[in-house]
Structure 1
């Protein structure tokens, strides 16, 4: 048996509203919010007495989703959210955008910080890394058509 598809990527944040606002400005759509607690959730995630609020966001093409979780219990621990790109583990999420400059202008008021430069790779694309809320690292790519 093989994998049918990827369902979502999960990210834990301390400010769910700020994460949702940032990713809405980026262009993701809020699919829904929910409060999660109880034996079912504890059994899945392996944390007894957990309580969290989640927001599921999707790309406009409805292909990809990011689930953001803000825990009330147990308290979240620092997972080195500002680690550099060469640190082990999930480091960034990449998005294709129509207009890189416009996208950066829309997300800057929500705390986006350019990691260094916007670079052009051959005649293929313009790309950059951006830090969002809580150090979430994004790669934004604008392909030349």
Structure 2
């Protein structure tokens, strides 16, 4: 086997504090924050000299993480946050939740907006997409069984 696990998903954001608050409300735990800068980091990303503020957030089960990054240097060069769900590239992160209605109500206090509507997939899931801080696309699924 060549892979051990998926370590994290990286998301570039423009407001790190608001994004941390949003994902904390969703139930993720902030593991830590750090400033990453210098030539060594740029060798990994191919961006050269960079300065990034990051926050690592962990799901309650401890198996998945989001690495939130706010670039201070170099400047952000593209913005895909408002791309429709059929755009090429990474689309969204989907979270399983216990109570979809309660989750939506709590996230509304963080300006989350429902993209379409809450739908039922057979007798298996209730699903929806929301836009979170800065327009991030997030999927939510409540298992019905």
Question: TM-score, with normalisation over the residues of structure 2?
Answer: 0.96
C-alpha RMSD of the superposition: 0.9
The SS at the match of 2:117 is coil
- Distance in 1, matches of 2:25 and 2:78, equals 26
Q: Post-superposition shift, 1:48? A: 1.7
**Which residue number corresponds to residue 70 of structure 2?**
70
- Distance in 2, matches of 1:61 and 1:52, equals 27
Q: Post-superposition shift, 1:45? A: 0.9
How many correspondences in the alignment?
A: 145
- Distance in 2, matches of 1:108 and 1:33, equals 25
Q: Post-superposition shift, 1:122? A: 1.1
Q: Post-superposition shift, 1:80? A: 1.9
- The unaligned stretches of length 5 or more in structure 2 are none
* Divergent runs of 4+, >4 A: none
**Which residue number corresponds to residue 55 of structure 1?**
55
**Which residue number corresponds to residue 106 of structure 1?**
106
* 2:93 maps to 1:90: no
